[in-house]
Structure formats: C-alpha cells, structure tokens
Structure 1
Amino acid sequence: MRLKLLALWVLWAVPAHAADPALLDQLDALYAKRNDAESAKALDKQVSEALKAVPDDFDLAWRKARILQWQADGATEKKLKMVLGKQTWEAGDLAAKLQPARVEGYYFAACGIGSYSQAVGIMKALGDGLEGKFNERLDTALKIDATYEYGGPWLVKGRYFYELPWPKRDLGKSAEYYQKAIARFPQSLRAHYYLAETLLKDGKAKDASAAIEKVKQGSTAYNPAEGQRVQQWAKKVDADIQEELK
C-alpha cells in the first residue's frame, strides 16, 4: 500500500510535461552568447515557442525572464524598455508562482519592475505604487539568495537607493550594497560600475575614478557578454569622472 501511495505521489509531483534538459542546455548556450544580436533573438524565439508547449514550466519561465531583462537592461529607447520591462516582470512573476521557494522569479520580476520604472520615470512609478511591488519581490530574492547572479539582488537594491529622488535617495546605502557584492564577487564589473556612478553622484570623484578603473582593467572572463556590456557603458562614466576631476 505504501509503495502504491509513493508511486502516486511521484506521478503527482513530477509534471506530465517538462522542458527537455537538452533544450535548457541549448538555451543556456545561447544566453552565454547574448551579446550577439542574432543569438539573443534566437534565444528569445526558442524559449517563447517552448513556453507555448509547456506554459507552466519553471525552468522556461525564468529563462524567458532572464533574456527579457538582458534586452530591457540594454534598451535605450524608452518605449521599448517599458515593454520589455513589463514582460520581464510578468515572466518573473510566473516563475515565482511556479516555484515560490526559488530566487529566480522574484529577482527577475524585481528587475523587470525596475526597468519599467526607469522607462516611465521614477516619479511616475512611485506615484503608481510600484515601489512596494518592487521591494516585495526584491526583498524576497534577498532573503532566498542574495548571491544569485554575482550578487544581483544586492546590486538591484543598491541601484534602488541610487535611483530614488531626493529626499528618499540614500547614496551611502547604495554604496553599502555594492560593497557587499564586491566583497563576495570582486570580479563583477557591474558592481564596480554602479559603485563608481554612486560615488560620483555623492561628490567623491576620486573614489569613483578608482572604481571605474577596476571596470576598465577588469577581466570579462567570468561572464563575457555581461562584462563587455559594462565596459562599454563605463566609457561615458569615466569621461564624466575625468571632467569632474579637472
């Protein structure tokens, strides 16, 4: 009887349909090459098609959110960033619903709300009540695993304190969260880049220069697509810092 009950539990616990592990490996391989526009496009198409067949698959849902966030993060046109941010938010929420004990869904949903808020304007986002939705998801991610994605939840929280308008902005707290990520993941160029921007805004151009130098001289081997993107962004911040130091 116990064996029968166990067998029934296994059948209930394992989804009848789940993404093929080989497909997940293929999607991850494409994600590693996401700085190539064609690879990113192919990844987005493949994961979207897979979700149509298996709409409640956690591993597909968070991977969909991940590539959407990459696209939203790099979008310069506000309308596109807004659309991608909202889609990231929705895909992240789906993943969180499917696996509420895992960090991925909450993290990417928070990132999506952040991108959406940047696109519509922080003041409008605050007026629309998005701050609570953002922090609810991000704080959950921080509790589950703050080290995910090279300390991604710490970086997003630090960016939150950077982006807020006065008097809610807190550049000291912003820097503290980046330092947490740097202490654990010194190779993270984004952590040093965000720290440089925060220090510059805080009137600490000399310290900002030291931080941005770590971005310029740092290796991208830990995450080539990510590192190359951040190093490209760093050029403008470096120019702003040097102008301030004159």
Structure 2
Amino acid sequence: MLTPPSMRLILLVLSLLAAWPVQAAPPELLASLDALHARRAEASALKELEAALKKELQASPEDYELIWRSSRLMTWQGDVAEDSRLKKVLGRQAWDMCERGVKVAPDRVECHYFAAVGIGTYSQAVGIMKALGEGLEGKFNERLDAAIRINPDFDLGAPLVVKGRYHYELPWPKRDLTESTKLLEKATGKFPQNLRAHYYLAETLLAADKAGKAKESIAKVTQGSGAYDPAEAKLVQGRAKKVEAKIEEELK
C-alpha cells in the first residue's frame, strides 16, 4: 500500500529531526565554557569548568556541544596525568563520552577526534602492546580516520598531528617514521603555530637519525609563541626541554 504524500512528508520531517544534533546549551554558555578551557592550566578555572560541564550534562545529557567539550577536558587531564591509573580512567571516560557524541552527530568532527585521543590516552596508560592485543588499534583508526575525512584542519590540524604521532608510537615493525614525518610536516606547514606538531616532528626526526633537522623543529617549539593556546604551549615547551637535550647530545 502506498504511503499518502502527507504521511511521507511527516516521516521525512521526523527522520531529519532524529538526525539533527541535540543542542540545548545557549551560545553564551558555550563561550563561557571555552573561556574557562583556555584557562585550564589554572586550578580554579579547571575546577569551575569541571563543575559547569557536570551540571550542564546532567540537565542535557544528549547535548553534543557539551559532550565533546567534556571529552576535550578529559583528554587534557589524561595527557597531563602522571599516574598511569588515572590516565587510563580519563582516557576511557573521554572515549566513552565521545562515543555517545558520535551517535548524536556522526558527521561532526569533534567526537570522532576526541574519541580517538581518548583511546590513545588509554592505550598509553595500559601499554601499547596490551592495547594492540585488545584490538584498540582498529577502533582508534576508525575514529581518527573519520575525523581526518570530515575536517583534517580541526584544532590547527590536530587529527593529522595525532595520526603522525600514531605512526611514531607504534612498535617495530609497524612503526613508520616516514609516514609520521610526512603527516607532521603537512600539519606544521599549514599550522606553524601548532607547537605540539613541531615537538612531535622533532622526536620523529631524531628517531630517524636526522638530528640536524630535529634541532630546527625543536627550536620552533622553544622559541615559538604560545598565544594560540597558553596552557597547551606551556605544557609542550616544558616537555620539549628533554627532547632538546637529547638532540644536543646526538649532535656532539
């Protein structure tokens, strides 16, 4: 039996509404959350951001804008965590949070990206070999490749940076320094202000026995401006000191 035109129209509208991301948070709230995130290196701002996201998500658990911002915060906390147990928990939470987000808005880049970063954080905490044994590589690449396909320029080329780092982090014989270099050079070429991209490139070049080029890359980190993201820049520049010392030792 044929569906009447009016019914077909109703069904079309319902399907479009079902696919439309739920966004209850007003723009001014999102702007406030982003401003707090920019100050996340400050303990007071970090605490306020955590509390605000928790409160808003309790009221609107399917709000995509809140979901991906919550995962973004968790990946940051996982990155700076020194305790592997805490890193594991935060990585898993960030991953799970953005799996929810992918279901809400499968065509948006943010949750594909932060789910991948969450998986990566979790994998670092449990150990790369164990993560490979758990089959996480496929899940990681599924999310990250989707992010690259949707918008490789997101957050100053972050999907490309993470993919480049992935090829560096893998154990032999899966490690691919050539591909890592290619992706990281692509990111630094388009987004020279991204200090993490230069930092990762320096480590890749050093591992590839190209200490001279690695020195050039690490100098762009230590001498670069952190205006684009002060918290991120401070973190990366602090980590760069050890790499800089290794490069100088290699060049002796």
AA paired with 1:131? E
Query: Residue type matched to 1:18 in 2?
Result: A
Aligned-partner SS, 2:173: coil
Matches for 1:86-125 after TM superposition, within 5 Å: 86-125=92-131
Q: Are residues 16 and 169 of structure 1, via their aligned partners in 2, closer, same or farther at CA, if it must alter by over 3 Å?
A: closer
How many angstroms apart in 2 are the aligned matches of 1:15 and 1:206? 48
Distance 2:198 2:67 in 1: 30
Give the distance between the partners of 2:228 and 2:138, measured in 1 at CA.
33
Instruction: Normalising by structure 2, report the TM-score.
Output: 0.91
Which of 28, 34, 42 is equivalent to 1:22?
28
Look up the match of 1:39. Answer: 45
Mapped to 2, the partners of 1:171 and 1:76 lie a distance apart of 26
Q: Percent identity?
A: 56
The structural deviation recorded for 1:38 is: 2.2
Counterpart residue number, 2:227: 221
- Aligned pair partner of 2:174 in 157, 168, 171: 168
Q: Which moved more, 1:197-206 or 1:101-110?
A: 197-206
1:188 aligns with 2:194: yes
2:236 maps to 230
CA RMSD after TM alignment = 2.0
Instruction: Tell me the distance in 1 between the aligned counterparts of 2:220 and 2:171.
Output: 28
Q: Aligned residue pairs: how many? A: 242
- Cα 1:145/1:192, change in 2 over 3 Å: same
Please state if 1:132 is matched with 2:143. Answer: no
Cα deviations by residue, 1:58-113 (Å, 9 ceiling, x for unpaired): 00000000111111111121111101100110111111111111000100000000
Task: For 1:182, give the aligned amino acid.
Answer: T
Normalising by structure 1, we get a TM-score of: 0.93
User: Are 1:198 and 2:197 counterparts?
Assistant: no
Give the drift of 1:15: 7.9
Deviation beyond 2 Å, 4+ runs, structure 1:
12-17
Q: Secondary structure at the match of 2:183?
A: helix
- 2:147 equivalent to 1:141: yes
- Contact 2:21/2:104 (<8 A) preserved: no
CA gap of 1:16–1:229, structure 2 versus 1, over 3 A, is closer
Residue number in structure 1 paired with 2:75: 69
Check conservation: 2:23, 2:65, Cα contact below 8 A. Answer: no
Letter matched to residue 80 of structure 1: L
| Amino acid corresponding to residue 162 of structure 2 in structure 1 | V
- Which 5+ residue runs of structure 2 have no aligned equivalent? 1-5
